[in-house]
């Protein structure tokens, strides 16, 4: 078996930044185990599988494809950076002729639209509901120690826990914060939490705001200690910070070691547009 395979760095215009995702193009269905085996072999936070929905479809001319995402440990219902990477491969490497692509996924239909040198993802927007601190204090204390916490929210749709740090903290503090993920899966083993978002309010640069908010994301429950740039986390962050800041258009930066940025627009239909760039850095063939 030979499969075309790519690696693209998402939410960045520069190679070796952003979040790398592997992208496989499938002419035919794969055995279920093979998806997971390939994701383990690639050993990136996500491997995406784009498949034709009909035998007559073409990766060059068709506009609708199936899309699945796998971490090295399991399949996930939603992944932003691997969707962006998939669209980048189709647009930039395969030279797909359409301006908008539709992906059929476990989270419904997701659209990716060309926007100059960037790509806009049309994603669901998920509410961040108030969360009793005492119910999750052991998890939070294990992760960040005695760091001051201003707010805690929970997204039942995505099973992500959002922890907003005190406004006394800034981007450099978040970037250098040591987060202990080693024992989180033992402390939270009920299945309620599958991802931990840590976020701080953005700072000002002169009279303008460089970024409206900053974040980092951790998902040891899915085999990902820290994810470099996470589109799915921003489906929750966008909802939260829009409410907190009273804004429907925002700019965000994820403060991992690789780093990445997103332009965010909350849509009138209750969804969110996440705009970012991607750089395809590897193109080859997988043989198995």
Active site residues: 46
Q: Which residue has the tokens 């599958």?
A: 194
Gap between the Cα atoms of 247 and 69, Å rounded: 31
Residue 181 corresponds to which tokens in the numbers above?
């993920």
Give the ranges where 123-282 is alpha helix by DSSP (H): 133-144, 171-176, 184-187, 231-245
Nearest to 196 by CA among 159, 250, 168, 171: 159
Residue 220 corresponds to which tokens in the numbers above?
């040891």
Gap between the Cα atoms of 239 and 269, Å rounded: 13
Gap between the Cα atoms of 221 and 90, Å rounded: 30
Nearest to 262 by CA among 124, 69, 127, 120: 120
Q: Residue 189: how many CA atoms within 13 Å on its side-chain side?
A: 4
């Amino acid at each position: 078996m030979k499969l075309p395979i790519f690696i693209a760095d998402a939410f960045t215009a520069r190679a070796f930044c952003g979040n790398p995702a592997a992208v496989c193009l499938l002419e035919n269905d794969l055995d279920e185990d093979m998806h997971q085996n390939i994701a383990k072999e690639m050993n990136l936070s996500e491997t995406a599988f784009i498949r034709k929905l009909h035998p007559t479809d073409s990766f060059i001319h068709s506009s609708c494809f199936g899309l699945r995402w796998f971490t090295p440990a399991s399949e996930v219902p939603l992944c932003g950076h691997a969707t962006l990477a998939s669209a980048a491969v189709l647009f930039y490497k395969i030279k797909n002729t359409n301006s908008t692509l539709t992906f059929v996924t476990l989270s419904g239909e997701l659209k990716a639209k060309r926007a100059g040198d960037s790509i806009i993802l049309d994603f669901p927007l998920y509410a961040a509901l108030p969360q009793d601190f005492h119910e999750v204090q052991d998890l939070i204390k294990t992760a960040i120690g005695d760091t001051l916490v201003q707010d805690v929210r929970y997204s039942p749709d995505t099973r992500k826990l959002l922890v907003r740090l005190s406004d006394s903290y800034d981007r450099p503090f978040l970037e250098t914060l040591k987060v202990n993920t080693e024992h989180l899966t033992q402390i939270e083993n009920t299945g309620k939490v599958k991802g931990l978002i840590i976020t701080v309010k953005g700072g000002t640069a002169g009279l303008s705001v460089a970024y409206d908010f900053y974040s980092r994301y951790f998902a040891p429950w899915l085999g990902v200690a820290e994810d470099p740039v996470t589109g799915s986390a921003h489906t929750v962050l966008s909802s939260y910070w829009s409410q907190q800041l009273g804004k429907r258009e925002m700019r965000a930066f994820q403060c991992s070691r690789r780093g990445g940025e997103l332009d965010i627009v909350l849509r009138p239909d209750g969804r969110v547009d996440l705009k970012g760039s991607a750089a395809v850095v590897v193109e080859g063939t997988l043989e198995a």
